[in-house]
Chain A
Amino acid sequence: MAGQSDPSLSIFSAPEVEFLAEDEMIEIVPNIRMDALNLLCGDFGPFLPQIACKVPLWLAVALKKRGKCSIRTPDWMSVEKLTQVLEAERESPREFQPLPFHYVEISRLLLDHAHDDIPEVYMVRSLIEDIRNVRFHKVESGLETISGRTHAVKLKNLSAMEVNIVRPFMVRVLQAFYKHDSPEMVQQVDTSANKRPQVVDRGPRPAFGKIWYIATAHRTP
Chain B
Amino acid sequence: MESWEEEGSVSGSGLGAGTDVELVRQAWRNEKAAPEILPFEEALVRRLREQIQLQEERAEELKSEGMEDVVVSLHHMDSDRALFLLKSYLRLRLHKIEKHLFFYSSHTHLFARLSPEEQLFCNSCVDIMTQHLKQSVLNKLPQHYQSVTRQSTSSEDDDMVDSPQLDTFVFCKTKTDVGAFQLDDTGEEIVDLVVDDLYVLRYKSIRGLVESGQINLI
Contacts and interface: CB of A to CB of B under 8 A. Distances in A.
B117 interface: no
A46 to B, nearest CB: 12
Given A7-B96, A41-B81, A163-B218, A153 B185 contact: no
B186 interface: yes
Contact of B52 (A19, A25, A40, A211): A40
Interface in B9-41: 15-16, 19-22, 25, 29, 32-35
B7 interface: no
A67 B183 CA distance: 53
A170 interface: yes
Contact of B84 (A2, A35, A155, A207): A2
Interface residues of A, number: 54
A156 B198 contact: yes
B121 interface: no
A41 B74 contact: no
B207 to A, nearest CB: 14
Contacts of A167: 171
Contacts of A202: 184-185
Nearest to A41: B21
A20 interface: yes
A204 B189 CA distance: 11
B167 A153 contact: no
B63 interface: no
Interface string A1-39: 111110110101000000110110100000000110101
B91 A4 contact: yes
Contact of B32 (A2, A3, A10, A160): A10
Contacts of B20: 40
Contact of B201 (A23, A25, A40, A152): A152
A155 B200 contact: yes
A103 to B, nearest CB: 14
A1 B91 contact: yes
Interface in B114-158: none
B176 interface: no
Interface string B52-77: 10010000000000001011011101
Given A2-B91, A170-B169, A40 B55 contact: yes
B215 interface: no
B188 A205 contact: yes
A171 B169 contact: yes
B25 A155 contact: no
Interface string A175-218: 10011000000000000000000010010111101010000000
B198 A207 contact: no
A42 B74 CA distance: 13
Given A43-B15, A209-B188, A152 B199 contact: yes
Interface of B: 15-16, 19-22, 25, 29, 32-35, 48, 51-52, 55, 68, 70-71, 73-75, 77-79, 81-82, 84, 87-88, 91-92, 95-96, 99, 167-171, 183-186, 188-189, 191, 197-202, 218
User: 5 closest Cβ contacts across the A-B interface?
Assistant: A153-B200, A39-B78, A42-B16, A174-B169, A7-B95
6 contacts: A4-B88, A4-B92, A7-B96, A20-B29, A40-B55, A152-B202
Given A56-B16, A204-B188, A211-B191, 4 more contacts: A41-B21, A59-B77, A152-B191, A204-B186
